Amino acid sequence: MKLIIVSLLVACSIGQLSAQHISRENARALKQAETAIKKYGRDMINADEWFDRFKADSAFTRGFVQALKINNSFYYPFDSLVTVSKLYAPDSSFRIFTWQVEKDLSFYRQYGAIQMHTNDGSLKLIPLFDMSDFTKAPMDSVRDNTRWIGAIYYNCLMNTFNNKKYYTLLGFDDNDARSNKKWIEVLTFDSTTGSPVPQFGGHYFQYQNDSIKPKQPVSRFCLEYKKEAKSRLNYDKELGLIVFDHLMSEDNDPSEKFSLIPDGTYEAFRWVNGRWMHIPMLDYQKVSMQGIDPLLGNAPNEAPLFDKDGKLDQKKIDEQNKKNQEKKP
């Protein structure tokens, strides 16, 4: 599935940076560099053959790094690079770029980099290396940038606890031909060596084990679900919560993650004293206009699989199973 990915991502405003200045000469150079790599950015997503997509990715990466070396590039939005997610931290201390390249429906590779803010406008860039395909337990450890669990990030939150900043990244992964994944990743920076070193993950999630969620303890939270489903996982500013769909197996086998679909109810996480605390059942009726967005998920389910008394509606489940069986070859 070839998507113009970032056109579906949540844009992050850089209005707070408008007081900063990029010289006319540097602005012109950045614009020229952006124009030069724009085609590669499109081709790494939309080229017909996988080797052409990876070839375009290599050319894009080289050109992008050269563009970022231009003084004060931190303030340049790169708006025309629509296949790359560009998120500023809420405190503007860094921004993070992420994108992905598809080999085939069973193999996706994510790429990324963190650009740190510098006082003199010079480039401090931390590359991210996706190790998702080389681990059987992606949720069990704290990782640095060389062992990153890849995702395309579409939201960045910031919280504090004991005078330390915690950045929560919400991300999407096409995963494979049968399922997608949504990630909640907590990013911190270790500055004990003088230069900030990113650390992804930690024991920041508190919830009871069940048949759907990753088994505790976890260092990052994953919501894996059926490829054709649309599952919401995003931050609600009004509630101050990360809201996500409660999932159930349409085949009555929660171990098969590709069978998990939203049931019309919601769960949430609330930041409390340095942890994301779980709310098992959320009375959440807010209507979202992101209903066709494969990254942010559907609006509340118009045909939930629970009846008005909160019990599973077996008739609806049977009807859904019948439809799914008809779709199978």
Model pLDDT, residue 301: 41
Q: Is residue 19 part of a domain?
A: yes
In order of 35, 116, 137, the CA distances from 50 in angstroms are: 23, 32, 27
Q: Is residue 245 part of a domain?
A: no
The predicted-structure confidence for 116-132, as pLDDT tens digits, reads as follows 999 999 999 999 999 99
Model pLDDT, residue 9: 39
CA distance 15 to 184: 26
- For residue 106, is pLDDT > 90? no
The predicted-structure confidence for 223-276, as pLDDT tens digits, reads as follows 999 999 999 999 999 999 999 999 999 999 999 999 999 999 999 999 999 999
Considering its fold, how many domains does the chain have in total? 1
Side chain identity, residue 44: M
The predicted-structure confidence for 2-12, as pLDDT tens digits, reads as follows 443 433 333 33
More confident residue, 104 or 109: 109
For the chain, the residue count is 329
Highest mean pLDDT among 86-95, 99-108, 281-290: 86-95
CA distance 154 to 141: 22
Q: Are 173 and 150 in contact (CB under 8 A)?
A: yes
Mean pLDDT of the chain: 86
Least confident range from 67-76, 245-254, 265-274, 315-324: namely: 315-324
- 107 pLDDT tier (thresholds 50, 70, 90): confident
- For residue 311, is pLDDT > 80? no
- For residue 115, is pLDDT > 80? yes
Q: Is residue 13 part of a domain?
A: yes
The predicted-structure confidence for 287-300, as pLDDT tens digits, reads as follows 443 443 444 443 33
Strand partners, 189: 198
Model pLDDT, residue 279: 97
The predicted-structure confidence for 173-228, as pLDDT tens digits, reads as follows 999 999 999 999 999 999 888 889 999 999 999 999 999 999 999 999 999 999 99
Model pLDDT, residue 205: 98
278 token code pair: 């779980």
CA distance 116 to 94: 4
Q: Are 139 and 224 in contact (CB under 8 A)?
A: no
Q: How many helices (H) and strands (E) does the chain have?
A: 3, 14
- For residue 20, is pLDDT > 90? no
Model pLDDT, residue 321: 54
Q: Is residue 4 part of a domain?
A: yes
Least confident range from 42-46, 62-66, 88-92, 291-295: namely: 291-295
Q: Is residue 80 part of a domain?
A: yes
**28-39 exposure pattern, b = at least 16 Cβ within 10 A, e = fewer:** ebbeebbeebbe
Q: Is residue 49 part of a domain?
A: yes
Q: Are 189 and 198 in contact (CB under 8 A)?
A: yes
Query: In the 8-state DSSP scheme, what is residue 193?
Result: T
Model pLDDT, residue 191: 85
- 324 pLDDT tier (thresholds 50, 70, 90): very low
Q: Is residue 28 part of a domain?
A: yes
Domain that holds residue 56: 1-89+103-108
Model pLDDT, residue 298: 39
Q: Is residue 310 part of a domain?
A: no
Model pLDDT, residue 319: 62
Report the pLDDT averaged over residues 83-97. Answer: 97
